[in-house]
Structure 1
Amino acid sequence: MEELVLYNVIDRIATITINRPEKRNALNPALVDALTLAFLQAEEDEQVKVIVLNANGGTFSAGADLEYLQQLQNNNFEENIADSNRLKKLFTTIYYLPKIVIAQVEGHAIAGGCGLATICDIIFATPESSFGYTEVKIGFVPAIVSCFLMQKVNETIAREILLTGKIFPAMQALEYNLINFVTNSAEINQKVKEFALSLCSESSGNSLMITKQLISQTTKPLLEKTLETAVQINARVRESADFKRGIASFLNKEKINW
């Protein structure tokens, strides 16, 4: 059985690769835990100064795994709290990590996959990449990622993309200030490497760490409290009739008329 996450270090750059291409790199509890452990490994790795998050196959991450969604229908409130906290732990691990995290997005980054990219410090994408917080379309809410998104894009944009659940291309994401760079697929590996190497060679590791802490602490001083609220909302909405109806329709590939 292949590993869900691959970890490799070259030239002080750790590459963390999501490795479920046969499932379009969809998220499930095992993958979320494996990603968290990989980032914690990179944090402790003295050979690592910068981290790149990418994915195998043609999709960065299609969101939640179908089997995982099916399981959610049977979870009780406490299980949903634990599951929401699992995703919160991954996102906060990346957000507070004392090393810079660069997302290399190729293909779709949808729902939880879009959230995963959003948390990273710097985001590169190809013109063919697409983004979307599609949770509202299946009776769910983008609760945890919304705590981070509001500091990346303005409220007008956040309301539009979270409430409509629309999927939008990389150039639109760039205009929204959600991502930093759009680079063609033939060059993205090299461009990401060059950017990471420049951070390694031109910036103090201690200064990078403290600057990242400064940004997180000054822009989101109430983040922990906000996240706790989001976890509760996440768990409660999973008990709603709309969530159960939306998930059932999604799993059965039926168009739902809300």
Structure 2
Amino acid sequence: MNELVLYQVADRIATITINRPEKRNALNPQLIAALTEAFIQASEDDLVKVIILKANGDAFSAGADLEYLQQLQHNTFEENVADTNNLKKLFTTIYYLPKIVIAQVEGHAIAGGCGLATVCDIIFATPESNFGYTEVKIGFVPAIVSCFLMRKVNETIAKEILLTGKTFKAEQALQYKLINFVTSSAEIHLKVQEFALSLCKESSGNSLMITKQLITQTTNPSFEKSLETAVQINARVRESDDFKKGIAAFLNKEKINW
């Protein structure tokens, strides 16, 4: 397994740990591929019944990596479609995975990092954790992640979150019903482990799998079409002047005058 992602199994629980703390666990193509591989491995591991996703360092994931954002400015449309499909593959792998995925969020979960948490089945977070889809602030759009957010919160809240690009604390995320539990940093590891173990000991693995399938595959038959549309939108926006202006200002730490 790539050192960007750590994989461990104990008591029928697979723990997948994002291990890029020096970059605040920012997403880049290598990390996205490593995470996808780890989830597929957990899916196929007969010793695994429940999966925990967590991160080393003081952030769950700060969103897209700066070098990665810089590269996007030079991509062709076809390269952007392929790149967006890789992110879609990671999110849909987690979302449709036949095993329950629990996110343990400690620190910032921003933009793509917030999306990564959102696609998990159950989300625990510490009170200090910040959430937010900040894409509009840098001329980008929350294309792929919006498809999953709309399945968790109502349209009014989704518009507030996505159009303002604001960040918000875990308690607010709980009120939005974006996450399930808020627990202290001293207790979150124990609480997540207890929750995962209770699923392992008290629920049929087959029933968990089929119940998750019922929820993910029957409530919105047009979901896959929405994701395909989001991929195309994401690639087109990367060619826009606003995207190039926003990314350049962000990378140079300049105030953007929209």
Q: TM-score, normalised by structure 2?
A: 0.99
SS in 2 for 1:63: coil
- Which secondary structure does the structure 2 equivalent of 1:147 belong to? helix
Residue equivalent to 1:114: 114
* 3-state secondary structure, aligned to 1:141: coil
Distance between the aligned counterparts of 1:220 and 1:128, measured in 2?
Answer: 33
Deviation string, structure 1 residues 90-146 (Cα, Å, up to 9, x no partner): 000000000000000000000000000000000000000010000000000000011
Aligned-pair CA distance for 1:206? 0.2
**Deviation at 1:221?**
1.3
Matches within 5 A, 1:109-258: 109-258=109-258
Aligned to 1:44: 44
Output the amino acid matched with 1:31: L
Shift of 1:218: 1.8
Q: Which runs of 4+ in 1 moved over 6 A?
A: none
Residue pair 1:144, 1:230 contacting (<8 A) in 2 also? yes
Q: Which residue of 1 aligns with 2:67?
A: 67
Secondary structure of 2:152's match? coil
- Paired residues for 1:17-96 under 5 Å: 17-96=17-96
Which letter maps to 1:69? Answer: L
Aligned-pair distance for 1:86? 0.3
What amino acid maps onto 1:150 in structure 2?
M
AA aligned to 1:137 is K
CA distance in 2, matches of 1:26, 1:144: 17
Identity %: 84
Aligned equivalents of 2:221 and 2:195: distance in 1? 29
Alpha-carbon deviation of 1:222?
1.2
CA–CA separation in structure 1 for the residues paired with 2:175 and 2:202: 28
The DSSP-based 3-state class of the residue aligned with 1:184 is coil
2:105 is matched with: 105
Secondary structure of the residue that 2:224 maps to in structure 1?
helix
- The Cα of 1:223 is off from its aligned counterpart by 1.2
Inter-partner Cα distance in structure 2 for 1:201 and 1:82:
41
Q: CA deviation at 1:220?
A: 2.2
Aligned partners of 1:127, 1:188: CA distance in 2, in Å?
Answer: 10
Structure 2 unpaired stretches of 5+:
none
AA aligned to 2:185 is S
Which amino acid is the alignment partner of residue 237 of structure 1? V
Partner Cα distance (1:233, 1:219) in 2: 24
* Deviation sequence 1:132-174 (CA, Å, 0-9, x none): 0000000000000111111101100000000000000000000
Q: CA RMSD in A?
A: 0.6
Q: Give the AA of the match of 2:17.
A: T
Q: Which amino acid aligns with 1:71?
A: Q
Unaligned runs of 5+ in 1: none
Aligned length: 257
Q: What secondary structure does 2:166 align onto?
A: coil
Q: Which amino acid aligns with 1:221?
A: P
Counterpart AA for 1:209: M
Does the CA contact (< 8 Å) of 1:151 and 1:219 recur in 2? no
Query: What secondary structure, in the 3-state scheme, does the structure 2 residue paired with 1:60 have?
Result: strand
Quote the Cα distance in structure 2 between the aligned partners of 1:82 and 1:38.
20
SS at match of 1:153: coil
Measure the CA separation in 2 of the matches of 1:136 and 1:73. Answer: 16
